[in-house]
Amino acid sequence: MRLRRGVLAYPFSLAAILIFTCLLVFALWRLWNTEAALRTQAGDNMLWAIAQAQVATQQLDIALAQARLEEADADILGLRYDVLLSRLTLLEDGPQRRHLADLGHFEPIHALAEQVYAQEDAFLSADARAGGEAEALHELLAELASEIGRAANRAMVAQWDETGAQLDQQHSAILQVIATVMIILAIGAFISWRMLAAFDAEQRAQMSLLREQEIREAYRSFVALVSHQFRTPLSVIDASMQRILRKGETIQPAEISERARRVRATVKSLTDLMQATLDSMKLDAGQIDINRAECDITAELETARERQLEARPGRTVRIDTGDEVPARITTDPILFQQIIGNLLANALTYSPQTEPVTIRVRAGNNQLRIAVVDRGIGIPEEEKQMLFQPFFRASTTKEVHGVGMGLHLSRRLAHMLGGDLTFESKRGFGSTFTLELPL
């Protein structure tokens, strides 16, 4: 699954970026087109040119009529004629000509315009013309005006059509651009998400690499520690055996039994060491299961006390339970016994025979606190930080046999039960180890 995702991720992202770019170009292209289309207003100009030609035609017609009534002079007539010609020239040239041809109105206008050009002399001397001739000029202009009017009409309709089509086109273009931008947004979000995911994965890979290195390092130091711990008792055993061998026949039975006792004690400590190491490794591997059950607090503590006192007759362990302490707690009774047993054993081992050990039980803040209080040798200030390290033994405990794993394991078990193990100690006055468990 991971592999598939990894292999597919690149083509997907690549395709997404490609589509993203294409859509962006497409949107820009559509906008560009629309903008260009908005700039061309050929229709408006055409309509204006036609309208002006019509006005010029009618103004010449009016000048003609005024000339006949002798209300205007030849100058006006000439001017109006020239203006009309300039307008007709405009219509018969360039884009206007093409446009008129498209509308199908170029030929009739052109034919009439030719007649107007041909009759230049007649127009310019219209004031001197007879009624019939002047009437013909008027007829010609009227026909030209109405022909141009029809062209204007057609141009207008054509422009409406064109405008409508253009609006439709712009409408669809804008819709396309909107849709494209929305898709671009979605793809952009996708690409960003992919990038973030890739970044996250890389970060996580780096973290797990670091963690792996840490574990390897811890394992290496653990192995070194364990082998060192094993070597000392092994050399003790070896030394005893060498001595027996060297003395051979001359050795006294008393010395043999003394050596044998020492070897047995050392073997026992090796066995303990192995058990503790195994426990610790089980903890590391997560192989210790927690089986929670309802336990009677007083009964559990009583059991722990009895077990310790069996091995140490004559010692006193007091249990002091506060009124607020509930009768029961839900926890793993075996692990609970292991922790309390270890704390009690320590307290009894490292305090004088005459001093009692107190188990003080209190509750509050949804916590059960079990304090094992001794009046023993205490822990040197400078060694307090090391106390929970595996195989650590305080310098004050040299004469007493031990492995140095008890507190380490106890605290780890306390953590597994959701609690904690803390201590206070003063050298020469005693120690108090407190197990806190959630209620």
Partner 1 sequence: MYNKMGQKFGLFRLLTTFFYIIAGSSALAQPLDAPSGEPILTIEGNITNTNVGDTAQFDRAMLESMGMVSFVTSTPWYSEPSEFEGVPLAELMERVGAQGTEVEVVALNDYRAQIPISDFSTFGTILALKRNGEEMPIRDKGPLFVVYPYDEESRLQNQDYYARSVWQVYKLIVQ
- The contact set with partner 1 (CB under 8 A) reads 41, 52, 55-56, 59, 79, 82-83, 85-87, 89, 94
The residue (of 43 and 376) whose beta carbon lies closer to partner 1 is 43
Q: Residue 266: CB partners within 8 Å, gap ≥ 6?
A: 233, 236, 237
Q: In angstroms, give the least distance from the CB of 87 to partner 1.
A: 8
Q: In angstroms, give the least distance from the CB of 53 to partner 1.
A: 10
Long-range contacts of 177-184 (CB under 8 A, 24+ apart): 177/27, 177/30, 177/31, 177/34, 180/23, 180/26, 180/27, 180/30, 181/27, 183/23, 184/20, 184/23, 184/24, 184/27
Asked if 20 and 184 touch (Cβ cutoff 8 Å), the reply is yes
Q: In angstroms, give the least distance from the CB of 135 to partner 1.
A: 25
Q: What is the length of the chain?
A: 439
The helix/strand/coil state of 316 is: coil
Torsions phi, psi of 433, nearest 5?
A: -100, 130
Q: In angstroms, give the least distance from the CB of 83 to partner 1.
A: 5
The residue (of 55 and 62) whose beta carbon lies closer to partner 1 is 55
Q: In angstroms, give the least distance from the CB of 82 to partner 1.
A: 3
Q: In angstroms, give the least distance from the CB of 51 to partner 1.
A: 10
Name the amino acid, one letter, at 106.
F
Torsions phi, psi of 325, nearest 5?
A: -75, 130
Tokens of 403: 């492995």
Give the closest residue to 190 by CA, choosing from 17, 11, 21, 24.
17
Tokens of 306: 């009895």
